[in-house]
Amino acid sequence: MAEDNSYESMLCVKPEVHVYRIPPRASNRGYRAADWKLDEPAWSGRMKITAKGKMAYIKLEDKNTGELFAQAPVEQYPGCVVEAVTDSSRYFVIRIEDGNGRHAFIGLGFADRGDSFDFNVALQDHFKWVKQEGELAKLEASQSAAPKLDLSFKEGQTIKISIGNIKKKDAGGAKQRPMAGGLLPPPPGAKAGGILPPPGGAQTVPLAQANTAPLLDFGSPVPAPQPSSDVWGDFTSAGSNSSTDAVKSGWVQFS
């Protein structure tokens, strides 16, 4: 993948860091911050971590003027350029370069443990991104080198698709919905001869011939209904003061 090496991005900025002179490494166990003169830093200022392409740069600058004090190019992390001490999480040993091929090791310390955590995470995230970009570039190179599978139709080539288990619909397949059963009641004034009698042989009794008094007297027996020549009969409603009221048109009137 093509990279724009002219673009420099900012990864981390810490307004105050301290630089220490460190003694030579005594053993292979690593550096110890307790061996430094922590109360007498050699320099204090601002630290920046920038990225340009795959490289990261630790820059130590004057916090007032911005003048560069030292710079440490980082090609990989963890690595030999940045090394944590064995007895604290706030101090590191970094290898700085002067641009002429010469390098030196200095101690770098943070006043707050959160600042050292940000310093560590900024470098880890950058080189994690570099690793992912490298893997993506390898994948693209392998895909471009592999022969492409040609799935296009050749000239005159056809295909046949067979779809089974599909039933054809009948031409007159729409089933008629069943008619709703039962008869509607006759309209007012309909003749009795044109209407069929109710099912079951039951006959209706006109309420006009019945005595309404037994309706209010639950203790007396109700007289047997008398058959009527009218199929539907005349319906009446019981009033509070009158015994019976004739119903007009053969239908019940509600008062």
pLDDT digits (tens, 9 = 90+) for 128-169: 999 998 888 888 777 776 677 677 777 777 888 888 776 665
pLDDT in tens, 82-112: 999 999 999 999 999 988 889 999 999 998 9
Predicted confidence (pLDDT) per residue in 102-138, tens digit: 999 999 999 899 999 999 999 999 999 999 988 888 8
Q: Above 50 in pLDDT, residue 255?
A: no
pTM over 0.75: no
DSSP the chain: ----TT--EEEEEEEEEEEE--PPP-STT---GGGS-TTS-SEEEEEEEEEETTEEEEEEE-TTT--EEEEEEESSSSSSSEEE-SS-SSEEEEEEE-SSS-EEEEEEEESSHHHHHHHHHHHHHHHHHHHHHHHHHHHHHHHHHSPPP--PPPTT--------S-PPPPTT-PPPPPPPPS-PPPPTT--GGGSPPPGGG-----TTSS-SHHHH-TTSPPPPPPP-SSSS-------SS-S--PPGGGS----
Domains in the chain (CATH in brackets) are 8-143 (2.30.29.30)
